[in-house]
Structures are given as structure tokens and as C-alpha cells.
Structure 1
Amino acid sequence: MSINLKSLIPVLKAEWIGSDTDIFVDHISIDSRSLQNGSKTLFFALSGVNNDAHLYIPELIENGVQNFVVQYIPENCSGKANFLVVKNPLDALQEFAGYYRDLFDFPIIGLTGSNGKTIVKEWLNFLLSPDYNIIRSPKSYNSQVGVPLSVIAINGKHNLGIFEAGISTVNEMVNLEKIIKPTIGVLTNIGSAHDEGFQNLEQKINEKLLLFKQSEVIIYQKNEIVDLCLKEFLKDNDSAERQLFSWSFTDNSADVFILKKENKNDTTIIQYKYKGETFSLEIPFSDSASIENAVSCLLVLLYFMYDFGTIQNRMQMLYPVRMRLEVKNGINNCSIIDDSYSSDFQSLKIALDFLESQNKKNASKTIILSDIVQSGFSNEELYTKVAQLIADNKVNRVIAIGTTISSFAAKFSNCITFQNTTEFITQIESLNFNNETILIKGARSFQFEQIVSLLEEKTHETVLEINMDSISHNLNYYKSKLSDDVKIMVMVKAFGYGNGGLEITKLLEHHKVDYLGVAFADEGISLKNGGIKLPIMVLNPESTSFPSIIQYQLEPEIYSIKGLNAFLKIAREKNLKDFPIHIKLDTGMHRLGFEEHNLNELIETLKGNSSVKVKSVLSHLATSDEVKHFDFVLSQINLFDQLSSKLISALNINPIRHILNTSGISNFPNAQFNMVRLGIGLYGVSNDPAEQKYLENVGTLKSIISQVRTIPNGDSVGYGRRFMAEKETRIATIPIGYADGISRLWGNQVGFVVIKNQKASIVGSVCMDMLMVDVSHIDCKEGDSVIIFGESPTVIEMAEALKTIPYEIMTSISQRVKRVFFR
């Protein structure tokens, strides 16, 4: 983004008070606390019920912010900055977002409804991301402020947008429509959330449909009420180009008719009819809400004209969105369904359906429920409906928390009431939770996360959590640096740099990377056995592995005449034709590869040979991350260009050429050739501190506290008595050690772990299976979570302290440490 302030004066209908309009801004902010605020920031001073951002303008000016959109200029600020004075800064923010949206011309999917917006958005992002560079609302940014902030994040690299729009009353959607201007409209489930803001259901639907005033198509679940509203909507917003694209479980006149839903364990087979043909697909869910959301996604894919095979493959990979209805192991053989963030009638129905699908065999069902908000009903009507709903779902026990729901306790069977969460917590031991499935559902104000924490089973294990969303983010970050015709190879050697091989590789295959790189044949064989279809290059093949490489259709790197002759001998014996190989040139790394003096012999050996085909020519940079050696890197690149060009000319071939690694992608963009090799950058690590802030952490190594003890002054900890307490000290023992990959050099107060967001220094030597930390300053107990590395400390920090590199830290984590993958 680079916007001239002068151009915004008519857009915002603003009065200009400042010194210079010839200023460009590249950042929009509404948060005075943001460290991103600077001289090129345009700050919108929003005012709300509890806050007025104008009060923070003097401090912002002191911190270098020079450009503001304000309703008034604060005292003593005139002449110190540039001000665009408007009637309402929120309206101005929305006007700016609409203006900014018009600078781009690509498809925008607009989502609205009562339920499912965020899930459908995240799923569509997953389903479409292999083919599009998508901008989408972060989290649930669907409000009057959230929508403009989402849209302002568009940049020139994006070619598809997915934005949510949420409203709670009339006259709100008209503002969001002007900002999003969706070309594709998706109406998700219409429920009772925010009913109190509308006279009736029809008014709510009519208001939501306003989002689609300029949409080419409206995707929706067909029913009588929505059809009537759409009929009126089309009269008022007539467009010959508009298409209605409907689906239904019950109305076979819908464009997509769901013939059958068949639950199969935790999956659902959906059979549907479209354009006279019948298809079926499988999704990894069985609850009704997920099925509805998946069908909405299906229609979008059909509208985008995806083939059936692609739809089936992608839909079966859908995943739970981590924001609600999260299943956790509970104490005493209980299961916990965590829906502790909201409480409305429609979502209660969905949660109870989910409770049934997750209930263990022969286990009783319990619901812990707070006062219900945003129902649209009178209390009498609401709790009558709730009681009936709970009875219909055969819930064995109801625990009601809140003054309102408690006053209707008589409507429920087997109901225990508490006035507030604190009262419940004080009596939790007497409730004897045992072998039951517990749905915990409460409005945010009740802070039911405290209840979840108390009832959740404390797991005693060390795990490496891998954030797959971060993998996708980092991949797309580096893709954005490449020219359109440049391919990308991703290195997944060494068990995915310690993060896990097959799971990450499946995600990379979903994102349609061009090649995978492994070090040895057995790594490639493991991936092929796991079903990976992408071409896999083996960078360090041993001659003894050539038969297996051929058997599993791997592609060897050839770096010597001896190796080439050995492979050609086997290739001739097996009567191979054009088997792909990759020629490695040594341009200065002096590790592996053909040097300039033996290039002629290489050419003569390959000339006229039909057994193999040179798929690519590559080399390896030695110092792409060190500025002081950049001249050497340039010499390598020039030599590679010369040698590879000679090889290509002599053999009359057109192979892929590649030399750049992760650092090279960022530092030498003019040497991308035909392909680049992305390594540690995928896993969230850059050698450039300036670039690091754009990457997301992928791996978080976690453990728990096994035991806490207090030792007196003068006592020691661990082998060799290398730590001596100089005062009474609380020591926590963590079940992870050097056998898990934690260097012994990280002990003896060099390193630390994080407990409850506080650093705890490692004391004494790191043991094979344990380490000890000083928690004298931390209020912690046995079972509390411990971060070994992740956001803090980072593997970069650890590497610097240990005088090594992040690669070593990551690849050292033992495979006895369980990897947990999540999106």
C-alpha cells in the first residue's frame, strides 16, 4: 500500500490541516499501542463507549506518527502533525476501505449468516489456496471495524478475497457491502443469534442479503423464507447477470440436491445430484453444522468449476477450525466439549448435536450452561425451548450457572444451579464428574475457561506441536518473492528439519509445490510409501541405493563421473528410457558436484544417452546469508550460469536450473533461474532479522512440570552438584533431556524455559531424560505447561547462546518426542 494523503481529502470529505499533502502512507492503524505505527502510518482516531483514541495522539506524535484522521484536533497538537478532520473517523475508515477495495479487480467471496461464517471462510481458504493467492478476514474480523481492517490488507499479489460480514441490527450491512463489494455471495446458516436486533426473521435475512447487491451469484440453502426474501431482493436490486445457486436436503428443485447423508464413524458420506448427475464425497465430520458448512463450500467449488476428483480430494482433508466445540480429555475418564466462548440458542442446538456425536458409548451426558444471551425470545419462552431441547437430546444432568437460568431451574430435569462461576468452582469436588461427556457452554462473561481448565485431564507428556497454518503462511511468503514462471522445491530432508516428514509433505502437495528434496533414498521411499505423488529429488544418493531409487521412481542427484557411470549401468540393465536425473555442479561449495575441469567428460558421457534425461542442473551457494561474502555468491552464480549454459548447449537440452536456497531467495532475486529450493525458511527461521518478523513460528516444544520441591540454602541440584543454592529455592523438574535433543550446553543457567509467560532458568546439568529449573519467582504447580522453545525462547535464540545454528537445534529433537500437528 502506498497512498498519497492529498488523494484522500475528497475521498474522506475531510478538511486538511497540516503542513504538507505530498506525503505517502503505507500503513493504516487504529491501535495506539501498535509498534508498527510510524511516520508513514495513517492513524484513524476512533471513539467508542469506553475509549477515545484522540487522547493518545500526543503520545503517537512523540513516537513519530505524523498523519491522523480525527474528529477534532487535541489540545496542543496543532502544527505538530497532519490532520484530516472528518465528521466521524469510523465512517472515514469505512470510506477509505471502500476506496481502497476499488483499486483491485479480482473475485471477492462475501460471507454472511448467523453461524458458520468463520468456518466456511477458513475452509474455503484451505480448499482454494492451492490455486489462488487469497486475502481473507483474520480470525472473525466481520464487524464495522473488522471488515475495513480486513479489506485494507489487500495487496497486489492477491487474486481472490474471502471476507465475512457480521451484523447485529438494521442499517449495518449497507456499510459493509460498500467495503467488501463481493462478486460471489455465500449465505450461511440463519439462526437466532442477534434476533433482538431485528423485528423478525424476514427482516434479518433481508438485511443480510444487502451484502450481495453487486454479486454475480448468491449461494444459499434453499427454503421457503429465504426464497421469498430473495424474490423481493431481486426486485429491488435487479441484475440480469445475477445467478442464484441453491442447495437443499429436502427440496429437489435446488441446483444441488443432497440425496443422502450417511455417517460412517467420524466421517460423513454425502451423495448429491448436480446437473443431472449423481456424485458422492466424504468429509471427516458427522455433526450437522459441519455438514452444512461443507455443502456451502462444495457449491463454491462447483461454481468455480472444479472437477469432481479435485473436490473429493480436498473436501476429505477438511479440518476442525480451532475456535469452538473443541474436544478434550477430561478427568476421571470424562470427555470435555469446550464451547466456553458463547451462549446463544442456535449454537446451543449445534453444540448438543455435537455432544451426541462425541459421546462415549454408555457414558452419561452432562451440560454446564450459563445464562443464554442474544436469543430474541422472552426469558419464559427461551428457557422453555432450552429445556425441551436438552430433554430431546437425552442429557442426563444439567448444571445451570447464572441468576436468570437458575430462576427457571424447574423447567429442567435433574438440574443443579449456581449463581455464578465462582460458586460452582468452590463446589466442583462434590459434583463427582466421572465417565461422562460434558458440554461446557457459556457466554464469555462467565469465564467458563476456568471450568474447562479444572475438568481437563492434565497430560504428562512432552510434545512438539507443529502449526500447519504457519507452514502454509511461510510457504506463501517465499512464493510471493518469486517470478510467476519460477518453480519451487521444498526441502523435507532430516524428518522435515525435525518437524515431521509425511504430514508436512502432504500439506506441501496440497499447495502444489513443484518438487520435494530429501537427502537419502530411504527418506524418499518413506514418503512414496505414504502416498506422496510429487517428484522427489534425492540429493545425496549412495550407489547402493540406485536400484531402490529406480523402483520407487525417485530422482537422483548425480555429482560425479563414478556415480553417473554406476547409475547408467543399472539404467541400461533395466532398459530405462529418459529416467530423470539431476546434475550437480560445484561452483565453490567444494562439497559435492562436477567441477569445470571435468565438465567435458560429463558431456561426453551423457551425449547420445537415451537411458536418462537431465531433468535439472543445480549448484549450492556457500554464503548466501553472509553480507561480507556476497561477492563470492555472485561469483558462484556467474560460474553456475556459465557451466550450466555450456552443458545445455552441448547436450541440446532444456533442463530446470536452480541454485538459490532460502537465504538466496531473499538476497539474490535476480538469480532465480527456473527453480529455487526452500529449506529452513518454510519452518519459520530466517538468517535475516528484518525478514524474520514476516515468518510465523512453526514448532513449539512443550512439556509439563513433573515435580516441584523447595531446597534450602547450600543444597545442590543435579549431577556433579553444578548448581548450589545461595538461598531457599523452588525447583521444578521437567521430563525432557538430552536424549530428547536438548543440548547439555543449554543447562547450568545458560538456557531457560517459559512457565506461565515467565522465564525459568535451567539449573544444574541437563540429564538424559530430565532438566531442572528455578521457579522461585513463579506461582506454578505440578502439571503446569512448560515451553521449551517456540515463540520464546526461539530456536534462533537458543542457537546463538549455544554458538550453533537453528538447523542443529531443530533436527536434534528426538523422534521419541511425539509430534502433534494442528491447523
Structure 2
Amino acid sequence: MITEQLYQLFLQHPVISTDTRRIAPGSMFFALKGDKFDANKFAEQAIASGAAYAVIDNAAYKISEQYILVDDVLEALQDLARYHRKQLNIPVVGLTGTNGKTTTKELINAVLSQHFNTQATQGNLNNHIGVPLTILTINSTHEAAVIEMGANHQLEIELLSSIAQPTLGLITNVGKAHLEGFGGIEGVKKAKGELYDYLAIHPGVERELRTVFINHDDNTLLTMAGARSFENVVYYGTQGEGNIITGKLIENSPHLTLEWTKGDAAESYTVKSQLTGVYNLDNILAAISIGTYLGLSADEINKGIAEYQPKNNRSQIVQTGTNTLICDYYNANPSSMFVAIDNIGKITADRKVLILGDMFEMGDEAAAEHKAVIDKAMDTPVDERIFIGPDFYSQAPQGHEGFYKTVEDVIVALQAKQIKNSTILIKGSRGMALERLVELFG
């Protein structure tokens, strides 16, 4: 079945299901394959559970007209989303980056939601399946969309850009993450730059100019942008001429308060956020810039920033009985480790503790990058440092305490020696499951 025909069915049944455990009545079930399963086998169950149609790519499972046979279910889903996107005439923000993209996405959505009916990527559904599923949830009532795009290999952002077809594009930053898949930092630049490539190659039409938002403080992004020719470029940051928004940090104790100004205007605005981390200043300024560009008032923008509450253990502050926890253990890479460590060094607190877990997907750079993080932590003014995981443990200085092979080892140590009256940064890769430590700081 061709995409146009599939789209006509989608208009009649505009809900997509991919999991037979959560079938929406009247939905279209797409039998996606995984590494260890073939959802074609569950198509009959999907129909029995209330799906109107099941899209399959194995003819052996086509037992009635409710089973739609395609060459490849994943490609059919992506093509359907791409076709649907072309029918939409709304601003679509597409963003990627090494660090901060989910927080930035949430901030942009929080700001734009003050004025528009928006749709945004839910959670971290930012891959080759999540992006098309998000696009297919946008309907005629929505006035703007914010689409996060993630990648750990080359050409993924190119694919996701072709599906999301952003009118406004943003790379938060380029740093050391997924080095194993990208093949080093130059590979990261190339991969993230695929968003810039899309915006340069697809200039849009008069009503839908492609616009690139660039952090004027980031020399890497400026160099990457300078190698391409864009239709429309908007700058923001803490310095530089010609910015749509220029901002500065007022307070970090531990929540961020900032002051920002539109263009060359004399009037400035102040907003207190619920975020911690100096590194989040750039993310907030990006959201303010996009809100300003799309015509929101300063009051609307500040309300969106002030009301946004971080979640999912990304720079999330948790108050316990005697401690202040900075829970930042959703993910970790050398770039995000450095800025998080630097931030706690600058925070005003009576006692500060670093608890750092291994960084995953470092490939051949694992030893060197973990050693660099240890050196950074040792040079940062904190009262106690704890390193967890085999990569950190293997780099422990001789005779130095505070290095543990496993989280279980740390739990035993902390049960014997409790930490109290401290500001504690807990950061590591998701696979370390550092959330198991939180209950120790009650």
C-alpha cells in the first residue's frame, strides 16, 4: 500500500499503537520489529484488542483486510509521519545536541505553551521511532511543535530532520558523548551538524522560513554554522552583537535567576527558574529566544520559565531531611560531567559532596576520559568525592579512598558513614542506576 492510501486510513484512525499491551480502540497498530521480537506475530492480538488495522510486513500474517501489508513497517511509519508533516503549516522547532536537549525542549515547550497549543516530544522519544510517533500526534488543533532529535551514529539526525522537517532549528552544543558510535569528537560534530545541513538545504517558503538559532558564546557552533549558508540566522547568548536575546546570571544558590534583554533595548527582565546548574543558562536563553522570535510577550516567556519544574533526574533538586541533592543521573558524558562538577564548585553551600558514576559508550577513550573527570573533581573545591564503577575504579590514584567498583559497595559504605547537612551532586550514566543512593540521604 502506498503512503497516500495509508494516510487516508490514518485520517480516519489517527492514533498509532505499537504495543499490544496498550492498544487504543480504533487505532492503527504498526508491527515494528525489535532485536529480540517480531511484532508481526502480535498483529492478530492487536486486532482482537481493538485496533482497527494492523500494519505488517510478513504476508504470512495477513488474514483479512484489516491487515495492511507493506514492504517494511518501520519505513512505512516514517513515511507516514513525513507525509503528515507536509500537511501541517505550523512552526516546528527541531533541536539536537550533546547535552541539554531534553531540558531545552521542555523549556521551549513551557514557554510556547503560554501562547500556543503546542505538541512536544514526550520523555526521550527522540529516535527513529519516537520522532515519527510524535509527529503523528500533531493534529489540526496544534499551533506549534517542539521535536527533540537524538542520535548515537552518523546519519540519524539527517533521517529525523527529513521526518520532522523543522522550520526552526537549534543545536544546544557539541561535546563528548557516544564517542564509540560517532567515532570521536569530529564524528559528533558531523552528526549534530546534519540538522544544520537540513536547514541549509531546505530553505522553506515565504510563510515558513527556515531559521537557525545559534548560541553566540559557542565557538564550535559558530564555526559549524559558518561553513554553511542559511536563509535566516538568529543569535542569542551572554555576549556578542546582534543577539535577539542577551542574558546574564544573577544568582545560583542553587536555583538560577537570570536577567535578559531583547536586542538593543534598554529594558531588561528578571526571572527566577527552578533549575540548577550554570550550564542551564544557555538552555533558558534558547527558550527565551524562540519565544521572542515567535512573538510572545516578556510576561508570557517569564511565566513559562518560572513554572517549569525539572524532572526525570535531569538537574533535579531534591530536599531530604538534612541534605540538598542535585539529581543528575539520567545520563552522563565527559562534557556534561565537567560542567556539572564546575557548577557545584561555584554553588554557595556549607558542605559539598560529589558522587560520580561511570560514563558509558566511551569506547577506546574510556580510560582517558574517566581520568580527566577524576582530575577535574580533585581540582574542584568540594568536601568529599565518591567515584563509582569499574572505569573510575581502574583509574583510582594509589592509596586514595572514595573509589568503589559497584553501587552496592557504596551503599554499604554510606550506611556505615552517613552524609548530612550537605549539597550533593549525584551524576552518572543511566545504566549505573544511581537513584538507589537517594534513600540513603534522608
Structure 1 residues 377 and 204, CA gap change in structure 2 (3 angstroms): farther
SS of the equivalent of 2:317 reads strand
Distance 1:63 1:262 in 2: 55
Name the aligned partner's letter for residue 268 of structure 1.
T
The question of 1:288 aligning with 2:278 is answered: yes
SS of the equivalent of 2:151 reads coil
Where relative contact order (Cα < 8 A, 6+ residues apart) is larger, the structure is 2
Match for 2:422 among 436, 440, 448?
436
Deviation of 1:375 (Å): 4.3
Which position in structure 1 is the counterpart of 2:206?
A: none
The question of 1:300 aligning with 2:283 is answered: no
Distance 1:192 1:278 in 2: 38
Deviation of 1:150 (Å): 0.7
Which position in structure 2 is the counterpart of 1:416?
A: 402
Name the aligned partner's letter for residue 2 of structure 2.
P
Distance 1:35 1:84 in 2: 17
Name the aligned partner's letter for residue 10 of structure 1.
I
Distance 1:182 1:434 in 2: 47
Which position in structure 1 is the counterpart of 2:251?
A: 263
SS of the equivalent of 1:157 reads coil
Name the aligned partner's letter for residue 332 of structure 2.
S
Match for 2:233 among 244, 261, 265?
244
Match for 1:120 among 96, 104, 116?
104
Distance 2:66 2:363 in 1: 46
Distance 1:105 1:316 in 2: 26
Name the aligned partner's letter for residue 195 of structure 2.
K
Which position in structure 1 is the counterpart of 2:211?
A: 217
Match for 2:143 among 121, 142, 159?
159
The number of aligned residues is: 425
1:69–1:84 Cα contact (<8 Å) kept:
yes
Name the aligned partner's letter for residue 382 of structure 1.
E
Distance 1:153 1:103 in 2: 13
The question of 1:28 aligning with 2:16 is answered: yes
Which position in structure 2 is the counterpart of 1:336?
A: 325
1:281–1:315 Cα contact (<8 Å) kept:
no
Structure 1 residues 308 and 131, CA gap change in structure 2 (3 angstroms): closer
The question of 1:327 aligning with 2:331 is answered: no
Name the aligned partner's letter for residue 34 of structure 1.
R
Distance 2:364 2:174 in 1: 16
The question of 1:91 aligning with 2:91 is answered: no
Q: How does 1:670-749 map to 2 (within 5 A)?
A: none
Distance 1:13 1:385 in 2: 55
Structure 1 residues 359 and 85, CA gap change in structure 2 (3 angstroms): farther
Which position in structure 1 is the counterpart of 2:205?
A: none
Q: How does 1:470-619 map to 2 (within 5 A)?
A: none
Deviation of 1:402 (Å): 1.5
SS of the equivalent of 2:22 reads coil
Distance 1:139 1:360 in 2: 31
Distance 1:268 1:145 in 2: 37
Match for 1:207 among 194, 201, 208?
194
Which position in structure 2 is the counterpart of 1:390?
A: 377
SS of the equivalent of 1:203 reads helix
1:44–1:93 Cα contact (<8 Å) kept:
yes
Deviation of 1:446 (Å): 2.3
Name the aligned partner's letter for residue 291 of structure 2.
L
Structure 1 residues 385 and 202, CA gap change in structure 2 (3 angstroms): same
Which position in structure 2 is the counterpart of 1:789?
A: none
Distance 1:124 1:259 in 2: 16
Structure 1 residues 138 and 22, CA gap change in structure 2 (3 angstroms): closer
Q: How does 1:134-173 map to 2 (within 5 A)?
A: 134-173=118-157
Which position in structure 1 is the counterpart of 2:177?
A: 193
Name the aligned partner's letter for residue 418 of structure 1.
Y
Which position in structure 1 is the counterpart of 2:165?
A: 181
Residue by residue over 1:727-758, the C-alpha shift from the partner in whole angstroms, topping out at 9 and shown as x without a partner, is: xxxxxxxxxxxxxxxxxxxxxxxxxxxxxxxx
Distance 2:15 2:418 in 1: 54
Residue by residue over 1:328-371, the C-alpha shift from the partner in whole angstroms, topping out at 9 and shown as x without a partner, is: 2345x33322223222222222332443455532x1x2222221
Which position in structure 1 is the counterpart of 2:42?
A: 56
Distance 1:278 1:23 in 2: 50
Which position in structure 2 is the counterpart of 1:447?
A: 433
Deviation of 1:376 (Å): 6.6
Distance 1:170 1:268 in 2: 37
1:173–1:210 Cα contact (<8 Å) kept:
no
Structure 1 residues 198 and 391, CA gap change in structure 2 (3 angstroms): same
TM-score of the pair, normalised by structure 1: 0.48
Deviation of 1:432 (Å): 3.4
Name the aligned partner's letter for residue 419 of structure 1.
K
1:267–1:282 Cα contact (<8 Å) kept:
no
Structure 1 residues 426 and 95, CA gap change in structure 2 (3 angstroms): same
Distance 1:271 1:376 in 2: 40
| RMSD, matched Cα | 2.9
SS of the equivalent of 2:160 reads helix
Distance 1:11 1:153 in 2: 17
Distance 2:429 2:140 in 1: 40
Deviation of 1:442 (Å): 2.6
2:157–2:192 Cα contact (<8 Å) kept:
no
Structure 1 residues 81 and 450, CA gap change in structure 2 (3 angstroms): farther
Distance 1:339 1:185 in 2: 26
SS of the equivalent of 1:68 reads strand
Which position in structure 2 is the counterpart of 1:456?
A: 441
Structure 1 residues 138 and 107, CA gap change in structure 2 (3 angstroms): same
Structure 1 residues 271 and 72, CA gap change in structure 2 (3 angstroms): closer
Distance 2:162 2:192 in 1: 18
The question of 1:101 aligning with 2:85 is answered: yes
Distance 1:292 1:164 in 2: 17
Match for 1:347 among 302, 317, 336?
336
Distance 1:132 1:231 in 2: 32
Which position in structure 2 is the counterpart of 1:611?
A: none
Distance 2:110 2:252 in 1: 24
Which position in structure 2 is the counterpart of 1:380?
A: 367
Distance 1:340 1:224 in 2: 28
Deviation of 1:386 (Å): 0.3
TM-score of the pair, normalised by structure 2: 0.86
Residue by residue over 1:215-254, the C-alpha shift from the partner in whole angstroms, topping out at 9 and shown as x without a partner, is: 52100113433233223332xxxx6xx211112334x245
The sequence identity of aligned pairs, in percent, is 24
The question of 1:232 aligning with 2:227 is answered: yes
Distance 1:314 1:359 in 2: 26
